Chain A
Amino acid sequence: MSICQDLGLNFQQRMGANISQLERDIGSEQFPPNEHYFGLVNFGNTCYSNSVLQALYFCRPFREKVLEYKAKNKRTKETLLTCLADLFYSIATQKKKVGSIAPKKFIARLRKEKEEFDNYMQQDAHEFLNFLINHINEIILAERNQSTLKLQKTDGTKEGVTCNGTLPQSQNSDPTWVHEIFQGTLTSETRCLNCETVSSKDEHFFDLQVDVDQNTSITHCLKCFSDTETLCNDNKFKCDNCSSYQEAQKRMRVKKLPLILALHLKRFKYMEQYNRHIKVSHRVVFPLELRLFNTIDVPQSDDAVNPDRLYDLVAVVVHCGSGPNRGHYISIVKSHGFWLLFDDDMVDKIDASAIEDFYGLTSDIQKSSETGYILFYQSRDASC
C-alpha cells in the first residue's frame, strides 16, 4: 500500500486542495518573503531522495552554498551537483509560493551516477544522504583540482570567503564548503591496558550513527556512543609502545563539532534469526535544542570549536513503515519559526507538538511506525 502512495496515485486531486490550504494555514501576512515551499514529485519510490533533499534544502547554510555554486558555475558539464543546484535554484526562484516540482533531471542523473539507485526500489535515505554528501564533496574537489591545473594565477574564487583571498597552500587538504558545513572530528582515545599509554586518533565524519535504545533520548544515545569499550579477544589493540596486540580501552569523543550535526538513528538492525533487517521502532525523543555531553575540550588548538555549541533541530527525515526496503519517507523541517511536513509533492504546516508523533513506539506490538530516522541539528551561532 505504501507503494501506491509512493507512486503518487491521484496526487493531482490532493495537491490542489492541499497547497492552497498551506497558504491559508500560514497566512499571507506570516508567509516568509523569499521562501518557497514546494513538494517534490515522486518518480516511483524516490521518496528516500525527496525527503533528504527537502531536509537539506532547509539546512540554510547548505542551501546557500548550493545556490552560490549555481551562481558561480554558469557553464559546466552536468554533474549531480549541478542538477542539485538547478533544482534548488528552481525552487528558490518560483513565482508561486507553494506548489510542487518534479526533480526529473536530478533523479535521472542520480540513476546514472550510482547503480544502486538505478531502479524503482525503495532505498535507504541515510545511504542516499551519505552518497550525496560525499559525492558533492568529490565533485568540488575535482573541480578545484582542475581549475588549479589550468590557471595557477586565479585567486581561487571557489574557496571564496573561507580563505580570505589568499591562495591555499595545499588545495586538497583545504576544507570544501561541504566539509565546513557537515564535517566534524571524532577523537578515539585508546588506552593500552598493559602499558597505560594513551594514544588518540582523529577521524572525520559527515554524520554520527547512533544505536537506539527503547525509551531513551537522542542525548542518551549520543552518550552511549562515547561509552568506554574494551578491546579484547579477537579485537585487541596494536599498541605501538608495547609493539604487540594488547587489551585496551577505547572511547570516542567529539573533538570538533560540525556546523550541521546530522544524526543517523540506526533503526534497521540485522537479525540473524530472520536473515534480514528489522526496523527498530524504539521511542527515542529528540529535543528541539541540543548540546553534546561527549565533547572533548581542546584548549589552544586550531581545531577547537566551542564545546558548548548549541544546536537547533532544523529537519528530520522520517521513516514510515516496517522495514528498510518497504515503507515511505517523509521529512519535517523548520522554516521561519514554524514546522512543515513534506510528503513527496504534498506540503503541510504542522504544529511543533506534532513532532512527538515521530519519536517512536514504546511497545513492540505494532510492526509499523513513523519514526525519526535522520536528525539535522544546526548550530545556533550559524543561523543568525
Chain B
Amino acid sequence: MAVQSDSGGKDDVKTQFVTREGTYRLMTLSEYSRPNRVGYTSGSGSTHVRVSLVSLPPGPAGGAPGSDGQGSDDRICFNHGKELYVYVYRGVKKAADLTKPVDKKMYKGTNPTCHDFNTVTITPESVSLIIGFSTGQIQLIDPIKKELSKLYNEERLIDKTRVTCIKWVPGSSNLFLSAHASGQLYVYNEELGCGATVPHYQLFKQGDGYSIHTCRTKSTRNPLYRWVIGAEGSCINEFAFSPCGANLAVVSQDGFLRVFHYDTMELIGRARSYFGGFLCVCWAPDGRYVVVGGEDDLVTVWSFGERRVVARGQGHRSWVSVVAFDPYVVSFAEPEHEVEEDKKSESVQCYRLGSVSQDTQLCLWDLTEDVLRPPVRARASAHLSPNSQNFSPNGIPGAKLPVKCTKTNKIGHKHAELSGNASGEPSGAKPVAKTKSNNVSTLNISVGKAKEETSGSLGVNFTQRLAGFSFGERRSDHRRNFSLTKPAEKSTTNTVALRGKSVTSDSFDPLKLIGTPSCPRFDECPVLEPLVCKKIAHERLTALLFRAEYLITACADGCVNTWARPAKAQNGDSRSRRSDRIDLVD
C-alpha cells in the first residue's frame, strides 16, 4: 500500500523519509528558532507560526551587506508567540547561526500572525516586510535597513480582528492585501495613510456571496477596497494569488473556496468542503489546479479549467493546515502505481503536492494527470440525464472552458428542490422518511445508471466492497467511480441554465451543494492516498515551503526545520558524504 502511516509509537518522530526520487533528510543543524529556546514548550497561543523566505538580489560587491560574509542571500522570517525573527537563512549546507538575527521584534499586547516580503522593491540592502497582527494592526518594516516602520489600522478603526493572511499584490511595489478573521479582505497602499476616522464605505461591486466596497472620502486613503466574502463574520483563513497573478483564491471558515479574477473582481469559481472550514489554499505551478485543505481532514483538488472538484486526498488524521505544490518535482512522469493497461502514455504529467496538518504529519501526494483528467467515457453521460441533448462538449476530457464563460451558480437544482422540500417542514417530524426520499432521488439522478457499470463497487454488492476494503484496493475502486462525476456535473449545470439564477442563500446551502461539481459526494470523486505520510514533529505543523534544494516545515512550538532533498547523484555514497559535510560545519 502507498500509505506508510505511523500509528503507534508515541514519540516516533521521523527525521527522514523516502520517495521514489530518494531520501529526504532532516538537517538537524539547520533548525531555526528563537535564539535561546528553553527546551520543549507546549504551544499554547502560538498556533500561527508562519515562515517567509526571500532571496536578496546579488549586490555589486557580491555578498549582501548584513549577511556578515556568511555567503547567503536568503533571509528567513518567522513568528512565534509575541516574537518575530529574521535570520540569514543558510540553507542545507551550513548550520543555522541563531546568535545573530538580522532583526528581532517583541510585541506587547499583540502577536504577529503572518508576514510577507516584497520581491519587487527588494535590493541587496533593503527589503520590505509586511506583518499582520492578532489584534488587526499591520506593520511595514525593513529588517535589513531597519529605518522603515509604518503602521496601518493602528487605531483598529478599519478592522479589529486578527489578520489571518497578508500578501503583497504580485508585481506591485506598494499594494498589499490583508485578510481578517472578520471575513473581510482589504487592499492597502503602503504609501497612503489610514485616516483618523472609521472609514465610510460605498458599494463598488457585488456578486454571489461577496461584495466589494471603496472608501467614501475626498482624498484617497486606506483601505482602497474592502472585500466582504462569504457568510457573515466567517473568518477568511487564507488567500493565494495564481502564479500569473491574475486570479485570487480565497478560503474561509464557511467551508468555501472562492476564486476571483482579481482585476475585474468577478467570482469565477468555487468549491465547498466536504464539511467544516477550509483552512489553506495554494495554486499549481501552472495555475491549472487550486488545492485546498481543511477541517474535513482532506486535501481537495479543484480544477480551474473545469470549475469542479476533481479529486480528494485522504491521509491526514486531523485538520490540514498548509498545502503547497512542489514545483521542483513535476518531471517524474511515470506514476508510481501501474495505470490500467493502455492508459499509460508518455503525456502523463504528475504534480507533486505537499501538505502538513495538526496531526504533526507531512504528506506528499502525486497528482497524476490520469486522475485529474476525466477519462474518455462520453458514453456514460448519454443515459444519465434527460437533458442530454444540451450537453456541451465540455464533457470531453482535456477540453477546457474559457476563463470567462462559467458563471457561479452551479447548484444542482434537482438536489435543491428535493432537499428544499425536506427542510421546509417543521423540525422533528419524521426526519427519517424525509432524508430517505431525498437521498434516493438524488442518487437516481446523478449516479443511478452508472452505478451498474461499476459492478458492485457501490452499494449493491457489499460483500465485494467489504473484500475490497479489507485488502486495500480502495484506490482502484475509487478511480473507477471517477467517471461518474462528469455526467452528474453536466445535468446540474444544464438545469441551472434553464432555470436561471437562484436565490443567493440557496446557492450556499451545503445541503444543496452536495453532489454538485462544487462538492461531489465522497464516492463520486476519486480519493487519493498519500505517497508519503510521516509524523515529523511533536507539535501541530503550521508551515511548508518548497525550494530547489530543500523544503521547510515549521510547527506550533516555533521550530523551523529544513529537509534536504535527495542527492542528485547516485544515492548511496553521496548521501553519506552530504551528512559528513554537515557534521564538519559544526
Contacts and interface: CB of A to CB of B under 8 A. Distances in A.
Contact of A64 (B428, B434, B436): B428
Nearest to A214: B10
Contacts of A287: 275-277, 295-296, 319
Interface in A331-348: none
B469 interface: yes
Interface residues of B, number: 59
A362 B514 contact: no
A23 interface: no
B317 A215 contact: yes
Given A64-B427, A215-B540, A216-B318, A381 B295 contact: no
B276 A289 contact: yes
Nearest to B361: A215
Nearest to B444: A299
B432 A305 contact: yes
Contacts of B255: 289
Contacts of A382: 427-428, 431
A361 B10 contact: no
Interface string A292-315: 010011111010111111110000
Contacts of A363: 40, 42, 538
B428 A217 contact: no
B296 A308 contact: no
Given A251-B469, A379-B431, A381-B511, A220 B317 contact: yes
B538 A310 contact: no
A189 B462 contact: yes
B359 A362 contact: no
B321 to A, nearest CB: 11
Most chain-A Cβ atoms within 10 A of its Cβ — which of B436, B440, B510? B436
A215 B318 contact: yes
A296 B462 CA distance: 9
Interface string A360-381: 0111011000000000000111
Nearest to A220: B317
A384 B317 contact: no
Interface string A190-205: 0100001010000000
Contacts of B458: 297
B43 A362 contact: yes
Interface stretch (B195-203, B285-293, B416-424): B416-424
B439 A217 contact: no
Contacts of A288: 276-277
A217 B436 contact: no
B43 A285 contact: no
B519 to A, nearest CB: 10
Nearest to B254: A289
A213 interface: yes
Contacts of B277: 287-289
Contacts of B40: 363
A189 B460 CA distance: 15
A228 interface: yes
Contact of B443 (A191, A196, A299, A379): A299
B176 to A, nearest CB: 25
B274 interface: yes
Interface in B310-341: 316-319
Given A297-B459, A353-B181, A189 B466 contact: yes
Interface residues of A, number: 59
Nearest to A190: B466
Interface in A235-259: 249, 251, 256, 259
Interface in B246-300: 255, 274-277, 295-297
B45 to A, nearest CB: 10
B455 interface: no
Contacts of A366: 42
Interface string B28-40: 0000000000001
A134 interface: no
Contact of B521 (A219, A283, A308, A384): A308
A349 interface: no
A305 B470 CA distance: 25
Contacts of B556: 362
Contacts of A296: 462
B467 interface: yes
B459 A381 contact: no
B460 A219 contact: no
B412 to A, nearest CB: 13
A66 to B, nearest CB: 12
Nearest to B255: A289
Contacts of B511: 310, 380-381
A361 B318 contact: no
A196 to B, nearest CB: 8
A264 to B, nearest CB: 19
Contacts of B469: 228, 251
A296 B317 CA distance: 21
B360 interface: yes
Contacts of B510: 289, 310, 380
B462 A215 contact: no
A60 B275 contact: no
A290 interface: yes
A361 B42 contact: yes
Contacts of A299: 440, 443, 459-460
Interface in B473-515: 510-511, 514-515
A330 B500 CA distance: 49
A383 interface: yes
Nearest to B434: A381
A302 B436 contact: yes
Contact of A362 (B10, B424, B463, B539): B539
A247 to B, nearest CB: 13
Interface in B396-448: 419, 422-425, 427-432, 434-436, 438-440, 443
A118 interface: no
B431 A285 contact: no
Given A220-B318, A251-B466, A285-B295, 17 more contacts: A161-B428, A162-B429, A215-B360, A217-B358, A228-B469, A283-B358, A290-B275, A291-B275, A297-B458, A308-B439, A310-B511, A310-B514, A361-B42, A381-B419, A381-B511, A383-B427, A384-B423
7 contacts: A213-B7, A217-B317, A289-B276, A289-B295, A299-B443, A308-B515, A362-B538
Instruction: Pick the 8 closest A-B CB pairs, nearest first.
Output: A287-B276, A306-B435, A287-B295, A306-B439, A220-B317, A217-B318, A291-B275, A289-B275
